[in-house]
């Protein structure tokens, strides 16, 4: 979405967002990678890895709910924060951004549905 070094830097293992916290923005990874985990039954369960150019935390822009997962840096990471106002401005500038965002969210829902079905069949 944006380039340069405007973002915030995190070191390996740093928590960027924590499951259960309130959120009102999403993050775009400028460099590095993050690990998405859910805390279930006292254990951290890895859900996904996201890397440069990908985003996370987007659900909080659409719903004022608590974060559903914790996201930690895997090595050095730089992210930029995008709030609802910023996102709407970017979508007005580039309407295809809305489609790409929805496409990614749809893929993630499909992956999550497949994972839930797989766990239930065990």
- In whole angstroms, what is the distance from residue 121 CA to residue 38 CA? 20
Would residue 68 count as lying in a domain? yes
Would residue 18 count as lying in a domain? yes
Is residue 10's pLDDT more than 90?
yes
More confident site: 121 or 73: 73
More confident site: 47 or 3: 47
Number of domains the chain is built from = 1
Would residue 2 count as lying in a domain? no
* pLDDT band at residue 59 under the 50/70/90 scheme: confident
Give the number of other Cβ atoms within 10 Å of residue 55's Cβ. 18
Mean pLDDT (whole number) for 41-57: 93
Mean pLDDT (whole number) for 88-117: 86
Is residue 16's pLDDT more than 70?
yes
Mean pLDDT (whole number) for 88-112: 89
Is residue 90's pLDDT more than 80?
yes
Residue 54's SS3 state is coil
**Burial zone of 36 (CB within 10 Å; 0-12 exposed, 13-18 middle, 19+ buried):** buried
Quote the pTM value. 0.81
- In whole angstroms, what is the distance from residue 53 CA to residue 1 CA? 8
**Is 27:56 a contact under the CB 8 Å cutoff?**
yes
* pLDDT band at residue 14 under the 50/70/90 scheme: very high
Would residue 82 count as lying in a domain? yes
Domain hosting residue 91, numbered range: 8-120
């Amino acid at each position: 979405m944006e380039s340069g070094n405007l973002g915030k830097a995190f070191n390996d293992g740093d928590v960027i967002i924590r499951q259960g916290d309130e959120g009102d923005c999403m993050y775009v990874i400028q460099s590095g990678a993050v690990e998405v985990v859910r805390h279930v039954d006292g254990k951290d369960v890895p859900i996904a890895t996201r890397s440069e150019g990908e985003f996370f935390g987007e659900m909080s822009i659409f719903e004022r709910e608590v974060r559903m997962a914790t996201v930690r840096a895997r090595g050095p990471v730089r992210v930029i924060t995008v709030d609802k106002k910023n996102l709407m401005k970017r979508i007005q500038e580039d309407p295809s951004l809305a489609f790409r965002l929805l496409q990614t969210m749809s893929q993630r829902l499909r992956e999550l549905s497949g994972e839930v079905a797989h766990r239930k069949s065990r």
